[in-house]
Structure 1
Amino acid sequence: MSSEPNIAGSNNGLEKVLSSSPEPIETSPPTSHHGNALHHSRTLSSSSSSSSSSRITERPPPFSRKLTRALFIRPADTRGPAPGHLESIKSALTYSWVNILFVFNPIAWALHYTHQTDGAVFAMALLGVIPLAGMLGHGTETIALYTGDALGGLINASLGNATEFIIAILLLVKCEIRVVQASLLGGLLSNLLLVTGMAFIVGGVRFSQQQFQQTAAQLNTSLLTLAVIALVIPTCFAFAIEQASGEETERDIILEMSRGSALILIFIYASYMVFQLYSHSYLYNPDNDILNDVRSSASSVQSAPPASVQPAPIVSGNELAPPPVKRTQSLVSTFGSRAFLGQTSKRGSLPAQFNRVDEKDEEKRQRDRQRRQDPEAAVIAQGDTSSEKELETPEMNLTVAISVLIAATGLTYLTAEALTDSLEGIGQTGSVSTEWLGLILLAIVGNAAEHVTAVFVAYRNKIDLALAVSVGSCIQISLFVIPLLVLIGWIANKPLSLLFDPLEVVTLFLSVLLVRFATEDGRTHYMSGILLFGTYVLIAFSFWFYPQNGTSAGNLFSEC
């Protein structure tokens, strides 16, 4: 009769030890039979599970958040003072060491307009695009600091892949349909395999394991799977009706299908923006304490049972020794938002920024320990977190940031024009496939800024942010850039469709599948990065031998 209060008391004491101990400890419950020990473990697990689920259900309905002015104009207490014009111009010119490569732009223009060899023009323009892509991102992210999270996210979502978009538009005007498709799909493969793989390797070499938020990662891979489906269907359809109809009829059907699918994909991308920036923005907020509590509780529930109760040696007869209960501190990483969600990633000045982030993380871990030790005090202190927010100081004022964005766009157009013209000349020589250049070289150069960002943040143990940069860019290309280009081609009477080369589509499908398997458990290490990086090298090597004309289905729209 009196054993029930004792068991409850021991449960409360044990829960306190399990939740507050940062170091590996051992605690032994009162001597009991094996059945009582198992009941004790189940009680602890169920109480933790119910606690975490109750936190999740505490969130309000997704669309109950009011559309206030703060969503579009950032409150003054979260942004530091804007610098002057001279400081802003200095920041624009010196924010990254990559700006050294800017000298290749005038060289590329001079070689192009004096009609020099295409190989030299292509090499110079390829190097010159890299700092321009970084400058576009720097200007866009600075402008986002002067707006609210929602408007800043929309600005960055629209201009996040401006370099790839400008190159694709120029190629589309020249009716290089196959090169346009190869460069876009190459951007997807580069972000998925090369950028993500290098981030996993760099982070995995420094840290044994890195954890990331599974909900956002699983949603991202699901969106990529949808994008692959949108590319697979026209490919299968083309093979199905190839013998049943003429070539002109087949072209018309696939174009109509592609344009309708493009509208659907853009609608899905818009819905994703609402989900990410408005209804479920807390999933992408690195300072969300509720989400971190839920993740910490879920990690405790998942890791406690296998490590808590160990087989106990038999002492005498059927009597079992009390099972030792062990608890180790779980590794919980802070969830980082995408670079384009109104939060600056300052490409090129990342080390200083993420040093500040590491200091904030240490303070955050201390607050989390206090919250676990004294939940009531944490609830009281939760309302006073606004004073702890670090001011985000822009590196440029708004006028200079807009001017930099406009200037970088114009310069990118000039360099991209030289790049695409030389690419056409290289293709005519037959020395190397233009599809391979678009699939590999253009994709690597266009994603150079994302590559540097992802590697730096992974090195700082921000693997969530690294995934958001790489996989998030893939989502933008597949669900927004490609469908938008299909619609622009429709307006310009250019036959750009969702019918890609079958081998490229299969390669993309297998790459998405591999990334999904590599991220499904919410943990990563350097071996996962080696797998992704090795797969990208294998694809690049294989496509080097791919014939220039590809397959008949892939060349259905090769000419305007």
Structure 2
Amino acid sequence: MNQKLFFTLLFGLFLLSGISHYAHFGTTIEFIISAAAILFVAGFLGKATESVAHYAGQRLGGFLNATFGNAAELIIAIFLVREGLFDMVKASITGSIIGNLLLVLGASVLLGGLKFKEQKFNVQLASHNSSLMILAVIALAIPAIFISNQHFSAGSAEFLSITIAVILIVAYVLWLIFSMVTHKDILEDVEETTPDHGEEPAWSKGTSIIFLVLATAMTAFVSEWLVSTLHTFTADFGFSEVFVGAFLIAIVGNAAEHSAAVLLAMKNKIGAAVEIAVGSSLQIALFVAPVLILVSTLFGPTMDIVFSPIELTAIAVSVFIAKSISRDGKTNWYEGALLLIVYIILGISFYLI
């Protein structure tokens, strides 16, 4: 799609989404238009981030892509928290984690592997990512087990949730210091076999930064319009809040990471693709989810960190298969297919709830 057509569709859908929201076209129409708009806005966010990443370097670029790619999910979740839809928030967190580990990483590995027989990335980075993913599972499982089985009081459950949220944020900050500062050289990506051949970014450095800010602002507006339709939409079509949060919202919110990660994998930059997919999942589990718990204290009742057994199982299964596939620092198309198969199994299971 050429740039002129992309921007025409982007701003056209953005305006149409706003008009449908304030003119009350009807919930289903509003949901469809807003979902289409956020896909293009997320794509715009991905393009702007990729352009900024060109100037910042591959590892930092992957981190920036994951961070700004998660902006859509974070903003959507904040509006859901404000509405008190805690179950849908937890489902969207679950969906974001499994969506990045299975859908985004799976599509990247599959399509990159179809073009290149085997792709390699830093094995030490893969090892550390695996350890952090296990930490995320532990951090989510422990409060669920203790609070559910030991009959904690509301005050104790709230204290434990806030405490774990703060600990996870500290752990994530320490990981950034470790990976970006003290051990940056050790975790550098392996040498790429396919250079850029003089590829230039889509925009200049200044324009890229401006577009990044603009895309984030547009994401905030469209996210609020989308969230406002969810109550009626789920009731009209008989979808469970868990399915809507874990798959519909997560797929829409993952659009930025999905497009950028796949494009990078097809350029044989699997290291950056893994950084986006796995790094985004870690960011959701260790930073976004804890931040949402802290933010919930500003709107009224505090959201606890207790995830349902179904959600914890989905996260644990995703971490297990992603860890198994990425631990050797090598990928091929069949491993990507395995990740997508697990995602489809989970998707069907969640739909039938």
TM-score, with normalisation over the residues of structure 1? 0.58
**1:513: how far off?**
0.7
Aligned residue number for residue 96 of structure 2 = 187
Aligned residue number for residue 220 of structure 1 = 129
Q: Residue 99 of structure 1 contacts residue 131 of structure 1 at CA under 8 Å; is this kept in 2?
A: no
2:297 alignment partner, SS class: helix
* Partner amino acid, structure 2, of 1:501: S
Q: Residue 119 of structure 1 contacts residue 426 of structure 1 at CA under 8 Å; is this kept in 2?
A: yes
- 1:395 counterpart (203, 210, 213): 203
2:197 pairs with 1:285: no
Pick 1 or 2: higher relative contact order, CA cutoff 8 A, min separation 6: 2
Aligned residue number for residue 169 of structure 2 = 266
CA 1:95 to 1:443, structure 2 compared with 1: closer, same or farther past 3 Å?
A: farther
**1:474: how far off?**
0.7
2:150 pairs with 1:237: no
Q: Residue 169 of structure 2 contacts residue 286 of structure 2 at CA under 8 Å; is this kept in 1?
A: yes
**1:98: how far off?**
8.0
Give unpaired runs (5+ residues) of structure 2. Answer: none
CA distance in 2, matches of 1:495, 1:271: 26
1:281 alignment partner, SS class: coil
Q: Residue 136 of structure 1 contacts residue 162 of structure 1 at CA under 8 Å; is this kept in 2?
A: no
2:185 alignment partner, SS class: helix
Aligned residue number for residue 212 of structure 2 = 405
Q: Residue 203 of structure 1 contacts residue 459 of structure 1 at CA under 8 Å; is this kept in 2?
A: yes
1:334 alignment partner, SS class: coil
- 1:111 counterpart (12, 16, 20): 20
Q: Residue by residue, what CA displacement relative to the aligned partner does 1:266-309 show, whole Å, maximum 9, x if unpaired?
A: 111111111121111123434xxxxx6xxxxxxxxxxxxxxxxx
1:351-362 matched pairs, under 5 angstroms: 356-357=195-196, 359=197
CA 1:99 to 1:265, structure 2 compared with 1: closer, same or farther past 3 Å?
A: farther
**1:462: how far off?**
2.2
CA 1:130 to 1:99, structure 2 compared with 1: closer, same or farther past 3 Å?
A: farther
**1:397: how far off?**
4.5
CA distance in 2, matches of 1:408, 1:199: 23
CA distance in 1, matches of 2:272, 2:60: 20
CA distance in 1, matches of 2:48, 2:309: 38
Q: Residue by residue, what CA displacement relative to the aligned partner does 1:307-355 show, whole Å, maximum 9, x if unpaired?
A: xxxxxxxxxxxxxxxxxxxxxxxxxx639xxxxxxxxxxxxxxxxxx7x
Aligned residue number for residue 79 of structure 2 = 170
CA distance in 2, matches of 1:221, 1:95: 41
* Partner amino acid, structure 2, of 1:274: I
CA distance in 1, matches of 2:28, 2:74: 23
**1:472: how far off?**
0.9
CA 1:397 to 1:214, structure 2 compared with 1: closer, same or farther past 3 Å?
A: closer
* Partner amino acid, structure 1, of 2:181: Y
Q: Residue by residue, what CA displacement relative to the aligned partner does 1:472-510 show, whole Å, maximum 9, x if unpaired?
A: 111111111111111111233332121112101111011
Q: Residue 210 of structure 1 contacts residue 525 of structure 1 at CA under 8 Å; is this kept in 2?
A: yes
Aligned residue number for residue 255 of structure 2 = 448
Aligned residue number for residue 504 of structure 1 = 311
Q: Residue 68 of structure 2 contacts residue 216 of structure 2 at CA under 8 Å; is this kept in 1?
A: no
Q: Residue 88 of structure 2 contacts residue 245 of structure 2 at CA under 8 Å; is this kept in 1?
A: yes
Q: Percent of aligned positions with the same letter in both sequences? A: 34
2:43 alignment partner, SS class: helix
- 2:158 counterpart (246, 250, 255): 255
2:277 pairs with 1:470: yes
CA distance in 2, matches of 1:147, 1:434: 39
1:282 alignment partner, SS class: coil
**1:252: how far off?**
2.2
Aligned residue number for residue 241 of structure 2 = 434
Aligned residue number for residue 221 of structure 2 = 414
1:287-366 matched pairs, under 5 angstroms: 334=192, 356-357=195-196, 359=197
**Aligned length, in residue pairs:** 352
CA distance in 2, matches of 1:103, 1:136: 16
Q: Residue 50 of structure 2 contacts residue 260 of structure 2 at CA under 8 Å; is this kept in 1?
A: no
* Partner amino acid, structure 1, of 2:248: L
* Partner amino acid, structure 2, of 1:172: V
Aligned residue number for residue 100 of structure 1 = 9
CA 1:392 to 1:279, structure 2 compared with 1: closer, same or farther past 3 Å?
A: farther
**1:131: how far off?**
2.1
1:21-100 matched pairs, under 5 angstroms: 94=3, 97=6, 100=9
CA distance in 2, matches of 1:149, 1:235: 37
1:161 alignment partner, SS class: helix
2:304 alignment partner, SS class: coil
Q: Residue by residue, what CA displacement relative to the aligned partner does 1:497-530 show, whole Å, maximum 9, x if unpaired?
A: 2111210111101110111111223322222111
Q: Residue 457 of structure 1 contacts residue 463 of structure 1 at CA under 8 Å; is this kept in 2?
A: yes
2:82 pairs with 1:275: no
CA distance in 1, matches of 2:324, 2:57: 35
Q: Residue by residue, what CA displacement relative to the aligned partner does 1:72-124 show, whole Å, maximum 9, x if unpaired?
A: xxxxxxxxxxxxxxxxxxxxx92894873542222222222122221111111
Aligned residue number for residue 70 of structure 2 = 161
Q: Residue 223 of structure 1 contacts residue 475 of structure 1 at CA under 8 Å; is this kept in 2?
A: yes
TM-score, with normalisation over the residues of structure 2? 0.89
- 2:268 counterpart (452, 455, 461): 461
**1:393: how far off?**
6.4
CA distance in 2, matches of 1:403, 1:454: 22
**1:264: how far off?**
0.8
CA 1:94 to 1:443, structure 2 compared with 1: closer, same or farther past 3 Å?
A: same
1:395 alignment partner, SS class: coil
As a proportion of its length, which structure holds more helix? 2
CA distance in 2, matches of 1:171, 1:443: 13
Q: Residue 125 of structure 1 contacts residue 415 of structure 1 at CA under 8 Å; is this kept in 2?
A: yes
2:24 alignment partner, SS class: coil
Q: Residue 143 of structure 2 contacts residue 160 of structure 2 at CA under 8 Å; is this kept in 1?
A: yes
Q: Residue by residue, what CA displacement relative to the aligned partner does 1:371-400 show, whole Å, maximum 9, x if unpaired?
A: xxxxxxxxxxxxxxxxxxx897682352x4
- 1:121 counterpart (30, 33, 53): 30
Q: Residue 45 of structure 2 contacts residue 216 of structure 2 at CA under 8 Å; is this kept in 1?
A: yes
CA distance in 1, matches of 2:271, 2:146: 37
